[in-house]
């Protein structure tokens, strides 16, 4: 199985190497801003000419928004715009132009309806102070040294790693991996290099191929499994909140930048901002480490993992819980499970966001019309079952796997779930490409429980 995988390593740079990194990131920013100004100037000129009823054939020639078109315009203007262009790698300018080309395409697709989701704004100019320094290399000498503690990048030369790259080096030496690109980025005061690698992964199987686990994520417990296991929520952001407040107050007492007057930040302000940035980076690293360990364990142990399609954006509108929801990383759990289950030979089933997993009784299938968030125990009026509401939801999610398998050979012509919770209905299952009757929707009579639900298989 061939997949695209990333390997990320921290770097230990000398002061001279860090200056070279910033020079490359600055070159990417210069190319991006110049090309964006050129695009806006051409758009404004053509709009002005149209207002004077100038025929289309006589308008100022348009500028191609593709990477090739922007690169051609930049190469013609770089001797005048950036006479120092030979001091950095060409990949630095390509990084900025590629980011602009993708941003313009996203904006155009969003306006024409080709892109789903929130409307995307027009690209903005990159600030030297607020933009995260980053540069991407796709050509030239990109390799891991035999000692596995150094990497080589174009124009930047030999860079020391903070940790061993043995995992990537072993695959490269065995011929089961090929480096496609390398991205250098400063994050939380430390430089990292990320390799995008095409990896030939061996076929694997979960430890329990027939095992099904429902995962109900929450704030009190990060995850409640249908097996009865409770995964504690470490609340990394809440634990570091007192320290961050102190660092934020210390930062506010320093002389910071002011765009209106052109005031530059003081050295003390820069050091205080760096300390606050490192505190935020530490929280992000702790959260990332915990989520990776949880999702890896679930994907390796169970053949089928069932989660909910949560409306995280809507949940963040609750200002009382927004910080805790963002700290938990609900969307990241689902994203990691999507590819890790594929790597380990399992499958991920995603229940529709309107499926009433918490309102449904896992014993008899009765559905409550309302269930307040403050009710932490589910008490069924039909069968008398009393159970923790999160455990009850996890059991209902696990039960959906059997109905997905049953509906896989059912008749076609079903109806999806809607926002209204119903006591009686039908089970709709959406099959994805790769299964029999790909792309069709089948309807299956309820078995044991009568609720409206939709399952989508995520790859």
Residues recognised as catalytic? 216, 308, 390
CA distance 150 to 160: 4
DSSP-derived pairing of the beta strands 150-153 and 143-144: antiparallel
Name the residue among 259, 311, 336 with its Cα closest to residue 6: 336
Look up tokens 């050129």; give the residue. Answer: 38
Q: How does 198-222 read in b/e, with b if 16+ C-beta sit within 10 Å?
A: ebeeeeeebeeeeebbbbbbbeebb
Side-chain half-sphere CA neighbours of 409 within 13 A: 3
CA distance 381 to 364: 10
Task: Please write down the long-range contacts of 173-179, taking CB distance under 8 Å and 24 or more positions apart.
Answer: 176/200, 176/201, 179/142, 179/143
User: What is the DSSP code string of 242-271?
Assistant: HHHHHHHHHHHTS---BTTTTBPPPHHHHH
- Angle of helix 330-343 relative to helix 267-301, nearest 10 degrees, comes to 50
User: Could you tell me where the DSSP H helices lie in 308-374?
Assistant: 312-315, 322-328, 330-343
Residues 6 or more apart whose CB falls under 8 angstroms from that of 203 comprise 1, 345
């Amino acid at each position: 199985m061939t997949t695209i995988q990333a390997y990320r390593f921290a770097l230990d740079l000398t002061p001279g190497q860090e200056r070279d990194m910033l020079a490359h990131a600055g070159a990417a920013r210069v190319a991006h801003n110049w090309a964006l100004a050129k695009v806006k100037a051409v758009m404004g000129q053509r709009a002005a000419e149209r207002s004077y009823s100038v025929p289309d054939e006589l308008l100022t020639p348009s500028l191609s928004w593709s990477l090739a078109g922007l690169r051609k315009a930049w190469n013609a203007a770089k001797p005048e715009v950036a006479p120092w262009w030979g001091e950095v790698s060409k990949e630095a300018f390509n990084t900025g132009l590629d980011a602009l080309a993708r941003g313009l395409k996203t904006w155009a697709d969003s306006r024409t309806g080709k892109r789903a989701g929130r409307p995307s704004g027009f690209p903005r100019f990159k600030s030297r102070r607020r933009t995260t320094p980053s540069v991407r290399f796709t050509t030239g000498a990109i390799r891991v040294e035999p000692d596995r503690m150094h990497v080589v990048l174009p124009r930047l030369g030999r860079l020391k790693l903070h940790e061993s790259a043995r995992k990537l080096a072993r695959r490269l030496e065995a011929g089961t991996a090929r480096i496609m690109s390398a991205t250098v980025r400063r994050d939380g005061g430390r430089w990292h290099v990320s390799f995008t690698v095409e990896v030939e992964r061996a076929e694997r199987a979960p430890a329990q191929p027939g095992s099904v686990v429902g995962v109900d994520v929450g704030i009190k417990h990060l995850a409640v499994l249908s097996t009865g296991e409770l995964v504690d929520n470490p609340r990394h952001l809440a634990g570091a909140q007192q320290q961050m407040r102190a660092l934020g107050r210390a930062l506010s007492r320093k002389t910071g930048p002011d765009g209106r007057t052109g005031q530059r930040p003081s050295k003390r302000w820069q050091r205080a901002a760096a300390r606050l940035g490192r505190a935020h980076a530490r929280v992000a690293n702790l959260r990332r480490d915990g989520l990776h360990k949880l999702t890896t364990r679930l994907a390796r142990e169970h053949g089928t993992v069932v989660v909910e399609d949560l409306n995280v954006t809507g949940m963040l509108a609750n200002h009382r819980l927004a910080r805790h929801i963002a700290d938990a990383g609900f969307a990241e759990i689902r994203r990691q499970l999507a590819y890790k289950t594929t790597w380990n030979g399992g499958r991920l089933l995603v229940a529709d966001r309107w499926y009433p997993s918490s309102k449904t009784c896992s014993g008899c299938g009765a559905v409550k019309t309302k269930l307040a968030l403050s009710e932490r125990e589910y008490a069924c009026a039909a069968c008398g079952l009393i159970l923790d509401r999160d455990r009850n939801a996890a059991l209902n999610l696990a039960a959906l796997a059997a109905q997905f398998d049953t509906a896989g050979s059912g008749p076609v012509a079903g109806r999806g779930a809607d926002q209204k919770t119903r006591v009686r209905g039908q089970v709709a299952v959406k099959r994805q490409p790769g299964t029999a009757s790909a792309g069709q929707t089948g309807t299956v009579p309820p078995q044991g429980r009568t609720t409206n639900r939709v399952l989508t298989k995520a790859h």
